[in-house]
């Protein structure tokens, strides 16, 4: 019996490219002080192509923490400290223009009405994540929200997953981790959770399928899948 759903944020609740493509372009342009060639060099460090707006499959922007993204950029930012860059990134992330993958409020209300506990586990900073969720009116629908800096570590480690289960009094085996990247699914499986992939991020079905029970087009298909699981178990 499924008792909880733990969501990744970017690429899962929010369409990754529509949300973070523009943010990355703006950040790099800001750091380069408007110098297009300089911005392009910075983009190469984080797997982002300024001309096309596309991310490389292994771009740290997709799955890594702000600290890790900042470390990738620092070699081309003389005089910039890691702490200052992370602060700048987190501040900019808190006000990013979000593009929900599906209408989120009715979906979350549906899942809560089924008695499910809901959580967020993101490699972003917790404060920035809360600001983003609040900006679209859904922060209060989650029983648990954690970022890489919440004290549980980042993904693909299992810390945030296990913290959600403990905070909500759930057996990890009855929790589903839903995410758009291999990091998400590896983290969920490491915690003993079930894993479901979605295709609203950069990863393909072929990349996610070996680690997931099922790969869905988006999280809007979760209620139907959960109902199917209940029928199998009954």
Q: How many CA atoms lie within 13 A of 174 on its CB side?
A: 15
- Give me the pLDDT at residue 93, please: 86
Q: How far is CA 234 from CA 2, 3, 177, 229, 231, in A?
A: 12, 15, 22, 9, 5
Its pTM stands at 0.86
Cβ 104 vs Cβ 133: under 8 Å: no
| Tokens read off for 207 | 């990349």
Task: Please report, for the chain, the start and end positions of each structural domain, with discontinuous segments joined by +.
Answer: 4-15+98-233, 17-93
- Contact at 8 Å (CB) between 102 and 220? yes
- C-alpha–C-alpha distance, residues 47 and 62, integer Å: 9
Share the mean pLDDT of the chain.
Answer: 95
Q: What is the pLDDT of residues 147-185, one digit of tens each?
A: 999 999 999 999 999 999 999 999 999 999 999 999 999
Q: Of 13, 82, 16, 27, nearest to 54 (Cα)?
A: 16
Torsions phi, psi of 184, nearest 5?
-60, -45
**Structure-token pair, residue 87:** 């602060």
Structure tokens at 90: 């987190």
Encode pLDDT of 71-123 as tens digits: 999 999 999 999 999 999 989 888 888 999 999 999 999 999 999 999 999 99
Query: CATH says 4-15+98-233 is which class?
Result: alpha beta
**C-alpha distances out from residue 37 to 43, 70, 126, Å:** 10, 19, 33
């Amino acid at each position: 019996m499924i008792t909880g759903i733990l969501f990744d944020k970017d690429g899962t609740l929010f369409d990754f490219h529509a949300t973070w493509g523009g943010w990355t372009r703006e950040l790099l342009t800001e750091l380069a002080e408007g110098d297009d060639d300089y911005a392009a060099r910075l983009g190469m460090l984080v797997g982002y192509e300024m001309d096309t707006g596309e991310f490389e499959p292994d771009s740290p922007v997709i799955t890594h923490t702000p600290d890790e993204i900042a470390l990738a950029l620092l070699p081309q930012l003389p005089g910039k400290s890691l702490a200052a860059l992370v602060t700048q990134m987190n501040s900019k992330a808190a006000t990013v223009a979000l593009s929900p993958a599906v209408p989120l409020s009715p979906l979350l209300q549906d899942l809560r009405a089924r008695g499910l506990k809901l959580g967020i586990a993101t490699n972003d900073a917790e404060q920035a994540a809360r600001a983003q969720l609040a900006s679209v009116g859904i922060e209060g629908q989650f029983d648990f929200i954690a970022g890489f800096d919440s004290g549980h570590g980042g993904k693909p480690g299992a810390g945030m997953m296990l913290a959600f289960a403990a905070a909500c009094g759930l057996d990890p085996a009855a929790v589903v981790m839903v995410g758009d990247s291999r990091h998400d699914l590896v983290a969920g499986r490491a915690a003993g959770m079930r894993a479901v992939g979605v295709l609203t991020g950069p990863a393909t079905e072929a990349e996610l399928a070996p680690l997931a029970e099922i790969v869905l087009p988006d999280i809007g298909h979760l209620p139907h899948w959960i109902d199917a699981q209940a029928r199998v178990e009954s």
